[in-house]
Amino acid sequence: MKKLLFCMLGAFVLLSITIVCYAGDIPEALLGNDSSQVYFGEIKNVDEEGITVIQHQNIKGEFSKGSEFTHTEFIFTDSPKIGEIYLCGFIDANNPLYVWEVTSLETQNLKIKNTDDMSKRIQEYLNSGKFEEKEKERLAIIDAKNDTEPSPEEPASAITIDGAEQMDNVTTVGNNLSFPLIIGGIILIGIVFILWIKRKD
């Protein structure tokens, strides 16, 4: 019985550590992931369906000014106000949109109103220019790639306008499967460990 209790306690501790580590690396994921987006966005709509954001000013990542994106999941300490501009961070479709209230649209001197550790790290990266550096690196890689690849000739009818195409593009965030997979893996490891101990006895 003591062994079972010890195993359950160990699984709980591992699960707790996993959740903290998983949730705490958002600033680093936004900074290090080339496909992540960090920008100032105006909130167009917030309801039970999700949040719609209009891209206003780019900091890092794919960007098209005036484009609207709808996310079914977002993280914000309170309810964002329609018409207000916020700092937005988007890693990928497996993560929610992260929204922060800021004092300015100038990255060198803005302050994030949240005082948690994650917000402080994002603010530090913005104030020190790390996001702008990563954006320059990302654009340099794209330019180098475009210079080395031959561009196919497109007929005039096949050319699309990015702005019009982006207006129809709606990003929806699917359910995050990482958390259930982590829990399932920990439970499976716990069961195997318990069976192994019982077999030894």
Binned at pLDDT 50, 70 and 90, residue 157 comes out as very low
DSSP-assigned letters across all residues of 63-101: --TT-EEEES-EE-SSPPPTT-EEEEEE--TTSPEEEE-
pLDDT of 10 over the 90 cut: no
Would the pLDDT of 171 be above 60? no
Q: Is residue 20 within 8 Å of 26, Cβ to Cβ?
A: no
Residues 103-154: tens digit of each pLDDT: 999 999 999 998 899 999 999 999 999 999 999 999 999 888 887 766 555 4
Residue 161 has pLDDT above 70, yes or no: no
Neighbour count for residue 127 (Cβ, 10 Å)? 16
Q: Per DSSP, what are the bridge partners of residue 89? A: 38, 98
- Say if residue 67 is exposed, middle or buried (CB neighbours under 10 Å; 0-12, 13-18, 19+): buried
CA distance 41 to 87: 6
Q: Work out the number of other CB atoms within 10 angstroms of the CB of residue 164.
A: 8
- pLDDT category, 185, cuts 50, 70, 90? confident
Question: Quick one: pLDDT at residue 6?
Answer: 64
Angle at 150 between CA 145 and CA 153, to 5 degrees: 130
At 102, is the secondary structure helix, strand, or coil? strand
pTM exceeds 0.85, yes or no: no
* Average pLDDT for 161-171: 35
Separation CA 73–CA 77 (nearest Å) = 13
At a CB cut-off of 8 Å and minimum separation 6, what does 19 contact? 179, 182
Q: How far apart are CA 131 and CA 177, in angstroms?
A: 28
Mean pLDDT of the region 79-100: 93
pLDDT of residue 19: 38
Per-residue pLDDT, 165: 33
Q: Which residue has the higher pLDDT, 79 or 89?
A: 89
pLDDT of amino acid 177: 53
Per-residue pLDDT reduced to its tens digit, 21-74: 345 689 999 999 889 999 999 999 999 889 999 999 999 999 999 999 999 999
